[in-house]
Amino acid sequence: MRDRALILSVLIVASCGLGYELIGSALASYLLGDSVLQFSTVIGCYLFAMGVGSWLSRYVADEDVLDRFVDVEMMVGLLGGISAAVLFLTYAWVAVPFRTSLYMTIFLIGMMVGMEIPLVMRIFNHQRTEFRELVSRVLAFDYLGALAVSLVFPLLLAPRLGLLRTGFLFGILNAGVALWMIHLFRADLHRPREQTLRAVLVLGLLGTGFVFSGQLTGWAEKGLYGDEIIHAETTPYQRLAVTQWHDDLRLHINGNLQFSSRDEHRYHESLVHPGLGAVPWARHVLVLGGGDGLAVREILKHPSVKQVTLVDLDPAMTRLFSTSQPLVALNKGSLKDPRVRVINADAGRWLEDNAEVFDFIVVDFPDPTNFGLGRLYSVPVYRLMARHLAEQGYMVVQSTSPYFAPRSFWSIDATLKEAGLHTWPYHCYVPSFGDWGFILAGKRADYTVPDKVGVPTRYLDSSTMAELFHFPADMPALSMPPNRLNEQSLVRYFDEDWRKVIR
């Protein structure tokens, strides 16, 4: 019975140990971007700390192994369980360098997790288990637990429970193992009553955190965004939060501002009308990204357009902007218009599987903050887009800021050219973001700025539209390499450019 209990505890603690590692990596990538860097550094720090913990376990006396294992489980459960909540709150409210807090927390958790397996093996050794059987059983269940959580975490826990509640759940499992070990080995422990009380207290704290994790998330996001949160949800793809302050609605994805209702018209009018106005015959339009329906709203103003195909990865995004009354009012119900076809799919895969040709294409992806997004700005993907573009049509790409992130902007321009397209860069001022850039591209080599907008607008007119294509002396064109899939240099440029601005 004790052997089976120990083996099951190995499965649980291995699952929880990897879970804390995944939570730390995911939280860091949500808040800091550049997922490859965050996952690599968090995993490296965690594995190093586990090695330190394994080495420190040698100083536990044989007669104290059971007691120390129980204590370690409680400490891992408590610190690991609250880690996501503490880090999120720290990022939002506390004037402490987040990276310092992140790596200190990861190191402490990893060090204690590193002590677990050596201590369990020594407990088995006390049960006089043969060494060969001991190693094979412990390591087999250790790896099995890691496999289980590596599948369950991205498919079920993170999208359904969120990172904070998932952290509390893993902590409860660790503390539960401690309480179970106290029950089974009570006669062999030195302070079973005291340890039982501590384990129950830890379970109570973690259970309370699990129940109120939604409120904790809301409190943290209140500090992060400053405004009242009217909608927040974690989807399998991202964290969505809509905030409101007086008449200003704002959408945040993974903590990054996507638009403000006070000035989004500047962005979306500039995104759509300079290109679509130059092809007044356009009937079929493709929008990649843009699940908020705001670009679609502008497209539908053109009477020639008969069908708009919107391809956005996240069904929660398009559902939100099709059902929420204030958001539907903002996009004028564009996603429910009979001329609009909404497809929830990965844009790159959809382009590969589809053969339709469009007169105008709008590419409104989030900024290339990580390699998953960066691939959508690469040469192969732009070549795919070109296959779907009519010979006399145009496509326009959201291209970050030519002022704050000039290397990123001109790298996107170079990437479009490498894909065989002619380009016409332009920019506009959006108060929420600053100076923002777009690149118009086409197979045809000619483009003339329309002499009139031709549809109702709040910002653009004929003179304003012509000014979009003028770059002042302090925003010169840069010679940059294209963004290729095997290098993803654009993600590095974007991170370095914006890091200078933040400093």
Catalytic site positions: 364
Q: Considering only CA atoms, which of 235, 240, 238 is closest in space to residue 252?
A: 240
Q: What is the largest CA-CA distance in the chain?
A: 89
Contact yes or no for 317/235 (Cβ under 8 A): yes
Consult the annotation and say whether 353 binds a ligand.
no
Consult the annotation and say whether 3 binds a ligand.
no
Q: Rounded to whole angstroms, what are the CA distances from 300 to 284, 334, 335?
A: 11, 8, 10
Consult the annotation and say whether 461 binds a ligand.
no
C-alpha R_g of the chain: 27
- Under DSSP, the state recorded for 302 is S
| Helix (H) or strand (E) run with residue 396 in it | strand 389-398
Q: What is the DSSP string of 260-312?
A: ETTTHHHHHHHHHHHHHTT-TT--EEEEEE-TTSHHHHHHTTSTT--EEEEEE
Q: Considering only CA atoms, which of 160, 196, 360 is closest in space to residue 278?
A: 360
Consult the annotation and say whether 325 binds a ligand.
no
Kindly tell me the sign of the dihedral angle through the C-alpha atoms of 371, 374, 378, 383: positive
Q: What phi-psi label fits residue 124: left (phi over 0), alpha (psi between -120 and 50 degrees) or beta? A: alpha
Give the bridge partners for 441, in sequence order: 395, 423
Contact yes or no for 338/304 (Cβ under 8 A): no
CA-CA distance, 375 to 387, in Å (whole number)?
Answer: 17
Pairing type for strands 389-398 and 358-364 reads: parallel
Terminal-residue alpha carbon distance, the chain: 59
CA dihedral 103, 109, 114, 120 (to 10 degrees): 180
Q: Considering only CA atoms, which of 374, 370, 405, 368 is closest in space to residue 496?
A: 405
Consult the annotation and say whether 337 binds a ligand.
no
Q: Tokens 């989807």: give the residue.
A: 235
CB atoms within 10 A of CB 209: 21
- Under DSSP, the state recorded for 332 is T
Q: Considering only CA atoms, which of 25, 5, 12 is closest in space to residue 171?
A: 12
Task: Note the Cα 501 to chain centre separation in Å.
Answer: 21
CA-CA distance, 230 to 419, in Å (whole number)?
Answer: 42
Consult the annotation and say whether 367 binds a ligand.
no
CA dihedral 49, 499, 492, 221 (to 10 degrees): 70
List, as residue ranges, the binding site for S-methyl-5'-thioadenosine.
238, 312, 346-347
List, as residue ranges, the binding site for spermidine.
268, 292
List, as residue ranges, the binding site.
238, 268, 292, 312, 346-347
